[in-house]
Amino acid sequence: MTDLYCLSQLIKNHPQYIQAKDEIHALYRGLGRIGQLGAAELLDQLQLHFYQLYRDIRLRHESYRENWEQSLRLKLQGIQFVCYGEPLYPSGCYFMEDPPLFLSYWGAPAWLGERTIAVVGSREPSAESLQWMESQFSLFCETQRPCVVSGGARGVDQKAHGLALRKLCPTIVVLPSGLGQMYPQSLQEWIEPILTNGGCFISEYIYDQRMHKNLFHHRNRLIAALGRGTLLIEAKRRSGTLITATQSVQLGKPVWVVPGHPLDPHFAGSLDVLSEGAQLVRDAEDINMFFSSELISESL
């Protein structure tokens, strides 16, 4: 609901949100559980529990009007919004240490099917890794029909998105920027096929937010939250890919790793993750087994 999104923008930018984030999230979640999560109802709760925040928001009429006008324009362009506690909010995000208060997305809420797999890896993968994806990950997509979640970067990310599209599986691109400043720019070419195939582009940043270095690591935790598990194709030590794997573990989700030779530095990070207890993946059959087991365990 646009009004709730506009209000949430003001809340997120207020100093008291940082100080009382968990309590404010609890208000959203509580109202959502009883089907009363709207701007008016949330304001009533803020007046009761966070009067300073409530008063400051009520005084910011101009900011609210500007947010509302922009969000209305974006809505007409097909951009949609979902706030913490709403029915479309990704369930995996509730387990994050720092969940987004709101998300914007362009396309379909493809995460709702819960058959999601996060795929991460090098921006400059080896020929062998790309060959493995072409043969084994492609077969997995054909067999399981998952929703593939990745970050849209060159290399493993774009290969994963491309294979999903080729096998007619939905795919989610998690951006390190706002939807109006897609990074990398080459993603413009992916908009039509991804939207047509039931996927989406998603961001937790405002529409005009430009990419900057710190947002990559921040974005990676959302990739981990959206996947039922994370498939790690190829990673050096101290890479952003390993941040996603770590976030998956912290969320209690499995990490599946394609191994490499111990003398190959491109796989040093992958082998570190394996030594810490991740599950080794050899081929499509292994991914099918692990993915199916995860789906079954969740349904029990």
Domains of the chain: 2-89 (no CATH), 110-299 (3.40.50.450)
Type of residue at 170: P
Q: Is the pLDDT confidence value at 297 over 90?
A: no
What's the pTM? 0.95
Helix (H) or strand (E) holding 149: strand 147-150
pLDDT in tens, 30-69: 999 999 999 999 999 999 999 999 999 999 888 888 989 9
pLDDT in tens, 139-158: 999 999 999 999 999 999 99
pLDDT in tens, 70-82: 999 999 999 999 9
71 beta partners: none
- Sheet (strand 200-203) strand order: 79-83, 102-107, 200-203, 171-174, 147-150, 116-120, 230-232, 255-257, 279-280
